[in-house]
Chain A
Amino acid sequence: MENLNVYAAKMAPQQEFLAGGHRACQGCAELLAARLVAKTLGHDYIIANATGCLEIVTSSYPHSAWEVPWIHVAFENAAAVASGVEAAVKILQKKGKYPVDRKITILAQAGDGGTVDIGLQALSGALERGHDMIYICYDNEAYMNTGVQRSSSTPYGATTTTSPAGAADPLGQHTMKKNIVEIAAAHNIPYVATASPSYPFDLMEKVKKASETPGPAYIHCFVPCPTGWRMAPNLAVSIGRIAAESKVFPLYEVVNGEYRMTVTHKKHRPVIDYLKPQGRFRHLNEDNIAEIQQQVDKSYERLLKKVKMSSTELD
């Protein structure tokens, strides 16, 4: 756990807005993250959900795990549906025609495929138009719901069902993860952050900030998937911690263009600690791992530069 007051967990909001009985696999961090997000946002919010694991496992007729208003339309359009909900609630409240006059938070949520690939255009449109909403991408680094196909968020070297490591091509995924966080930030929106349920307070704090920020906010949430990553389910939270400690998935935020690390580590672990427990990286050789280490170091350096630039600008 985080280096926080041990009893902090008791301070978290106790009410659940995502009920049990959902059909996610054992140890699904996507559902853990969604549960924490739901807790943080409480009662007054509306969800537009993309097709994907989160949608399927929480809404199998006749059941719904959602305690808040929730709509699913299609795979690539959560940002557009949320745009509509936001615009409608705003105008209906203004005209005195909406049944609730409190502030309603609008949340779009989607997987990495639904965000970084097929949903990128709708996301970009919604961010650019400036709707007052939060968009959360639950990144489990592949199309899990359809059986672990690669997405452009799948990391270099991971084997998936459409980037398999084989005799002729032993690497697996050849490309590096698309940097969607930078893409979101390039829309000049007020709040962008990375997060992970392995750091629940950091995640909840960011969700809270995002909901309090007027205008669009984008949160990219790292959600280990035991099924797709071929990993023991009990490791779903600890692996996210190792991802942060090894610089693979650093936790930071971009507030009005200013970068800030929100979780830092005095010492970093080597990427091998992160790769080892996961079956999807088992085929990698030493050279591959050295290559990944280099990539990770380099992107972390680049991030630190942005953080540094941001703090000097603040001076």
Chain B
Amino acid sequence: MAKRVGIEVSLAISEAVKLAKVDAVAAYPITPQTHIVEHLSELVAEGELDAAFIPVESEHSAMSVCAGTSAAGARTYTATSSQGLALMNEILFIIPALRLPVVMTIANRALSGPISIWNDHSDIMSVRDTGWIAIFVENGQEAFDLTLQSFKIAEDHRVLLPISVNLDGFTLSHVIEPHEFLDQDEVDRFLPEYKPAVQLNPDDPVSMGTVGVPEIYAEAKKCQDEVLKGSIKVVKEVFAEFAEMFGREYKVVETYRAEGAETLLMTMGSVSETAMEAIDKMQEAGRKVGLIRLRLWRPFPADDLRAEMGSVKTLAVIDRAVSFGGAGGPVAGEVRSALYNVDDSPYIASFIAGLGGRDITVDDFIEMVDQAEAMAKVNEIHEYKMIGVRE
């Protein structure tokens, strides 16, 4: 039976990885991800997890090792943050091209410089176009549940793409929360053994990663894109199966008190908990304000987003990363593209807040709603505004 455990979120993730019976873990330390791989190495050392634990000499090698383990047919996991993700960058592109279902936790952290160990989303936003499925979680339970579900999504033969599970560094990764853990037999029923579609095997030799001559390169990219876009169907199926088995429901786009709302705040990650407080407060004051959260960042759930825009007149999108000199925050830019040609699409305000560990308070959220509504009224043309910065 499921049991309730109070544990640090990082460790809950490691426990989920253990329950997934991974075969291989590549590990390199970086704050705030380190507790995850530390705990995994402990689980291996204690004999609780029968996996190859490969303590590599860099994140570039971590991701390269993952390419090797996954191509050889092993269920493969790694975790990183910030600079580590940046160092992996080259290999991140190659993993989905080779159709390797690696699962990676990213404890999101700001990118240097100046060097910062604190949370924002600049790491994941910088690898937006690498071709990975990217999921955001907001609390420990979600981190545990979605880590397990990620293996099932990634390894589905209609998908065979890598997934990153993103959680806010420190503000989520390092807090102790209660978690409903699942038992091994429950997990086994949900997540069967990984059956690779192809693996490096001398009795059936294949060549992986051959030269993409111009006659096929565009088809290779088109294929990758179609499979990534198509994976949303599998994501939803897996969410549904999980809900059916364990009663916890997940959606690619989630809302909070959004019925009848004329203004929506849009967030990703753990700041939504504070955002909810702000929504409660504003609704108490009689304002028609709700919250919308993107759980799935890639593939971008454009249809699901559009479906939530019913009565919405103003959308305030909060980005936790800067696209320097761009036409909007990274998320806001996507949202504007997705809604631009839609009839009666809302006014979209782009705010950047919470960089490098800067808190976003309830008052900040209220201020963003105020500003967005005022801007909407005069249809103010803008790219993006930074909030909570001394001017």
* Direct A–B contact present (CB less than 8 angstroms): yes
Interface residues of A (CB under 8 A from B): 43-46, 48, 55-56, 59-64, 66-74, 76-77, 79-92, 94-95, 97-100, 104, 121-122, 124-125, 128-129
Inter-chain contacts of B67 with A (CB < 8 A): 71, 73, 77, 81, 84
**Chain B positions within 8 Å of A81 at CB level:** 64-65, 67-68, 71
A124 shortest CB reach to chain B, Å: 7
CA distance A125 to B67 in the complex (A): 16
Instruction: Find out whether the CB atom of A98 lies under 8 angstroms from the CB atom of B73.
Output: yes
B58 to chain A: which residues have CB within 8 Å?
Answer: 121-122, 125
B2 located at the interface, meaning its Cβ lies under 8 Å from any Cβ of chain A in the complex: no
Asked if B202 contacts A70 (CB within 8 A), the reply is no
- Contact check, A88 vs B202: say whether CB atoms are below 8 A apart: no
Please report the C-alpha to C-alpha distance between residue A46 and residue B67 in the assembled complex, in whole angstroms: 14
Q: Which of B189-241 contact A (CB under 8 A)?
A: 193, 199-213, 215-216
Q: Is the CB of B52 within 8 A of A99?
A: no
Q: How far is the CA of A80 from the CA of B193 in the complex (A)?
A: 25
Whole-angstrom CA separation of A61 from B56 in the bound complex: 32
B205 touches A69 (CB 8 A): yes
What residues of chain B lie closer than 8 Å to A97, measured between beta carbons? 23, 73, 193
Q: Does B74 contact A (CB under 8 A)?
A: yes
Number of residues from B at the complex interface, CB < 8 A: 47
Tell me the complex Cα distance, A273–B55, Å.
Answer: 48
Residue of A63, A74, A79, A85 near B90 (CB, 8 A) is A74
Interface residues of B in 52-68 (CB under 8 A from A): 52, 54-58, 60-61, 64-68
Given contacts A69-B200, A85-B200, A97-B193, contact A91 B211 (CB under 8 A): no
Which residues does chain B contribute within 8 Å of A82, judged by CB atoms? 68
Task: Tell me the B residues contacting A by CB distance below 8 Å.
Answer: 23-24, 26, 50-52, 54-58, 60-61, 64-74, 76, 90-91, 94, 98, 193, 199-213, 215-216
The one of A59, A70, A73 that contacts B205, using a Cβ cutoff of 8 Å: A70
The residue in chain B whose Cβ has the minimal distance to the Cβ of A63 is B210
Q: Are the C-beta atoms of B65 and A83 separated by less than 8 Å?
A: yes
CA distance A80 to B74 in the complex (A): 15
Instruction: Check if A84 sits within 8 Å of B201, measured CB to CB.
Output: no
Residues in A whose Cβ lies below 8 Å from that of B68: 48, 71, 73, 80-88
Q: Is the CB of B72 within 8 A of A84?
A: yes
Known: A80-B60, A87-B24, A92-B23. 9 other contacts (CB 8 A): A69-B207, A70-B207, A84-B64, A85-B68, A85-B72, A121-B60, A122-B57, A129-B55, A129-B56
